[in-house]
Every structure is written in C-alpha cells, then in structure tokens.
Structure 1
Amino acid sequence: MNFNSKEINYVKLFTFSEEQKKQVFKVYDRLCKIYNVSVIDIKDSPLFLFKPLVENQNFVPQICYLIKSENNSFYLYIIIRIVHYKGKYSDKTEEFLEVWGIKKLDEDFGDILIRKENFSNKITELFKTFDIDFNDDPQFSKTFYVLGENEAQARIFLSQSRRRLLKSFPDKDFQLEVKNNILSFGLPKKLSIPRVLEISKFLKDI
C-alpha cells in the first residue's frame, strides 16, 4: 500500500470500519496509479456550493481527493451514506461508502439537473414544461430528464460530445448537477473500484 499517512487526518479513518478502511486504501492506491492524487481539507473544496448535498444528514463527506491529470483537475469524495429502513417491528439503519465527484467548468451554465428518465418524470412533464428535449438526439432525450434554469445555457452545456459521454456512461443511475461553473456527479450506490474509475474518467473527460 502506497498510502501516505501524512496526507490524511487519521481521525477520519476512525469513523470507518476495518472493511471500509481497506476500501479507502485500495481506492487511493488505484487512483495513484493513474492520476496525481493529493488529500485536501473538504472545506477547501467546492463541495459546499451544493447545499442540498451537504445539508443532507444522511450524506456525510469524509475524505476529499484532489485529482490532477495533465491540464485537468477535479475532486473526488469518499462519502458515508446512511440509509434508514422502516420495519414492521423496528427500524434499521445501514451505512455504506459512496464516491462523489466535483469539477470546475470553464463557463457559467446556471443551474442544470440531469437524471435518468422515469415514470414520475413523465408525469411531471405532463404538467410542467421543465424538461429540455433534443430533437437531434432522440436517444438522449428518451434516456435522460434535463431541468435547466436557462434553456439556452443548458443546450450549450449539453454539446454533442457531452451528450455522447453521458450516453456512454455504463450506469444510468448517476446524478449530475451543475451550479454555475461547478459540476457535481455521483452514483448513489456502494463504493467499488470500477465505480471510482468510471466516475474519475467521466470527470476527466467532461
């Protein structure tokens, strides 16, 4: 393991189980083989621009990696996700790790939200004209639901190359949000090396 103990506050690691610590170390080692990786204070990253994320008590950021690749950089976060289940006789709580990413963009695109198209979105679409369709890309419009504060800015952001990148991402359950010139991207699923690498590559290419 090539993990540099000086790079991280070990107090953070005490919040993890032994199995979670192993996952964190494996993620770090794998990323270091591909990118230039440094651990930074979460407060020094753009995460807090996304208040719906940081104000969610079930979404607890623990570690922030600053990832650099050539002239490109982005942030990856190790998150503790807390899920509550209501049972017939008692409630149950489960914690697991997720990976989330943030990247600064070259332009201000306002507020944009992109999710996988589903039935509830279709119902909303019947009553509100929030969804932005791309007539030249029916596959994209059929697959994704796009909400934009400014339709023109959203269309500029969703260039043909970016739409192609989104369509090629292997797991369509991702959540993408843009706040001005900051992009947030993640999968609400358990941490795994393949998911970390997929999200990292996406953030590098977007």
Structure 2
Amino acid sequence: MNKLSFNATGLADVDITAFDATCNHLRENYRVDVPGYIDFQLEQFEVFNHYRNLNTRDAFAIKHTGADSYMLFLEMNPNSKSSKAELKHHQQYQPWALTYLKHNFGRVFIRTETLLDKIREMVFPIELDFKEDKPFSDRFYVLTDDKDKAHAGMTQQFRDAMMLIREIDFVVEIFEHTLIIGNRKPVAPEHACYLAEFVSRLAEVQ
C-alpha cells in the first residue's frame, strides 16, 4: 500500500483521483482497516460470470463490534466482440461491498423489480414474494434456489435494511453465508457510499 492507501500501480490519473476520493470518504465515515490476505471466493458469484481476469485490487475492512464487512475495489476485464468477432478486453475498476451472514441463504439474487419482471412473473411464478411485507415484494425482485432458506434468512431486519437503500441500480447476490452488493459503476465516493452503508447496517443487525 502506498501513501494514498490503495494500490496505484498502473492506474491513470483520473482513476487515481477517483480511488483517492473514495478512500478518503471511507476513512471519514467508517472505522476502516487494511486486512491481511482474504480469499473472498468471488468466483462463486454468478454476477461476475461475464468478466474475465477478475482481481481484488484492494480490500478494506469496515470494522464493527460484530462481524466486519468489506469494501472491495475490483479489477475486471469484460469480454466484448468487435464487428470482426474478435475479443476486445476493456479493463474496469468497480467498488463492491461484501459481508458475511449468520444464516445460510442458499443462493439468492436480488435487484429492483422492473415492469418486465412483473409481467414474467404472471406467466412463470419463480419469484420469492413476502406476503407479510408487500412494500418489499413490490420493490424487489428476488430469485432463489431454496425458498425455505431464503425466506428464513431474509428476516424483517434484513428486509428493512434493503428498503433503506435509496438507489435503484444495484444488485445483491448471496451465496450461502456471503453477500455481495454492487452497481457495476466506476469507483466514485457516491457509489461506494450506499454500498458501505448497506453492509455496515447488515453487520449490525445480523
């Protein structure tokens, strides 16, 4: 780590500015530490399947009295095809937040529900709904491979934490005890803010 508190090797000036502003935001609003090496096993998340060479460039632990949560700065190369069907590689840097959960959720995918989702559900009822929490079910689209585990894990406190997220362009994926949230946007303080806020809130209620 250098004096900027992140790995600046290979970053363009505009990226260094964005990383520096985001790290400063984290330090100002949270008790942040640099953990030792942790294998976050990001390969288990389907949301990263269309990226190649996924690397955790930097990781910061957001300290709590209970379980820590983490802000990850990921370096990835999505594949895209040119008109000549040749693969092009475009390096991207994105902030994602991660926390560990007490309950085993199985595999869960959550995002803001769209009109297309509502229409699809009328034909294929595959979404997990919470009849006791209509505002949550109206806002979020929840897919799971184990409805019993997911329903048990997504307690009222969990759902309340989700409802406090003001942004709409994000995705949450849970694999058993590990949750990750991101919005596929570049590194920036305002993007990292609500990601860190959400996992911090979850760490307090779990």
CA distance in structure 2 between the aligned counterparts of 1:86 and 1:6, rounded to whole angstroms = 36
CA distance in structure 2 between the aligned counterparts of 1:121 and 1:73, rounded to whole angstroms = 34
Match of 1:138 among 134, 139, 161: 134
The question of 1:45 aligning with 2:39 is answered yes
SS class of match (1:78): strand
Is the 8 Å Cα contact of residues 35 and 69 (structure 1) preserved in structure 2?
Answer: no
The question of 1:74 aligning with 2:69 is answered yes
With over 3 angstroms needed to count, the CA separation of the structure-2 counterparts of 1:64 and 1:88, relative to structure 1, is same
TM-score, structure 2 as length reference: 0.79
1:161 corresponds to: 157
**1:88 offset after TM fit, Å?**
8.4
Which residue identity is paired with 2:18? Q
SS class of match (2:34): strand
Higher relative CO (Cα under 8 Å, sequence separation at least 6) belongs to 2
SS class of match (2:184): coil
**How much is the aligned-residue C-alpha RMSD, in angstroms?**
3.1
Match of 1:112 among 92, 108, 133: 108
1:174-201: per-residue Cα shift (whole Å, max 9, x none)?
1111111111111122332122121111
Count of residues in Structure 1 that have an aligned counterpart in Structure 2: 200
With over 3 angstroms needed to count, the CA separation of the structure-2 counterparts of 1:49 and 1:157, relative to structure 1, is farther
Which residue identity is paired with 2:161? L
Segment drifting more, 154-163 vs 177-186: 154-163
The question of 1:34 aligning with 2:34 is answered no
SS class of match (2:137): helix
**1:76 offset after TM fit, Å?**
1.1
For structure 1, list consecutive stretches of 5 or more residues without a partner in the other structure: none
For structure 2, list consecutive stretches of 5 or more residues without a partner in the other structure: none
CA distance in structure 2 between the aligned counterparts of 1:117 and 1:54, rounded to whole angstroms = 20
With over 3 angstroms needed to count, the CA separation of the structure-2 counterparts of 1:81 and 1:170, relative to structure 1, is farther
Q: Percent identity?
A: 20
Is the 8 Å Cα contact of residues 22 and 187 (structure 2) preserved in structure 1?
Answer: no
